[in-house]
Amino acid sequence: MRVVGGLTFSLGLILVIVGGAELFTGNNLIVMAWASRQLSTWRVLRNWIIVYIGNLCGAVATALFVFWGQHYEIGNNGLTALNIGNAKLGYDWVQAMILGIFCNALVCLAVWLTYSARTVMGRIMAIIFPITAFVAAGFEHCVANMYFIPYAILVRAGAPDTFWTAIGKTAADYSKVTWGNFFVDNLIPVTIGNIIGGVFFVALVYWVVYLRTGSKPAKKA
């Protein structure tokens, strides 16, 4: 099920890359231009701040519209959303940060791989496997969590009594699913981990290998 979920989740990055949108975690690769002195520190931070806020607003707005559409009433969607949100808020700070590091290393690798593609299908194929891997492994992505956890919070706070009766649970069973816990216990550590994974595990490594002054491409054997 995690693998299937990962294949589905790949659609998000495909839409970003092929559609020309902006994703905070993928934009961690901008550090490569900063390291080459093509961008100032302020311009990098400005991009990150604007895109991060935009991603947060878009994700929460999407969660709100999905909630208004009563998607939680279809099948086990509401229970699944609550369980996902509850699980994501069950990590301690260090664990959430480390899971964020591994996640964005794979996300940024997926973005990096798309630069080797010459067709839209090539870009799509470059994205699918790294993204499927991070979802299947249970790593943490701050932008994804900007949707999953607020949606669980909305379901917990606004679902009618008939919903709770149908799933055999109460809102008290998901006491951790709150806005405060979302920001403090998940979003902050996962964001820090995503930055570390994207910047230090991918962007600066590949900059040193390929782009730093004086580097030369390897000779063919």
Q: How far apart are CA 22 and CA 32, in angstroms?
A: 17
Q: How far apart are CA 86 and CA 40, in angstroms?
A: 40
Q: How far apart are CA 139 and CA 106, in angstroms?
A: 10
Q: For the chain, which domains are there?
A: 2-211 (1.20.1080.10)
Give tens-digit pLDDT for 34-77.
999 999 999 999 999 999 999 999 999 999 999 999 999 999 99
Angle 56-59-62 from CA coordinates, rounded to 5°:
145
Alpha helices (H) in the chain, listed in sequence order: 2-19, 31-35, 41-68, 77-88, 93-114, 120-137, 142-158, 161-167, 179-181, 188-198, 204-206
Give tens-digit pLDDT for 184-206.
999 999 999 999 999 999 999 99
How much is the pLDDT for 221? 45
CA distances 41 to 37, 38, 45, 118, 211, Å, are 9, 10, 6, 31, 18
Find all residues with CB under 8 Å of 157, minimum gap 6, and list them.
Answer: 171
Give tens-digit pLDDT for 139-176.
999 999 999 999 999 999 999 999 999 999 999 999 99
**How does DSSP classify residue 217?**
P
Burial (CB count <10 Å: 0-12, 13-18, 19+), residue 163: middle
pTM to 2 decimals?
A: 0.93
Q: What is the mean pLDDT of residues 84-104?
A: 97
Q: What is the mean pLDDT of residues 86-109?
A: 98
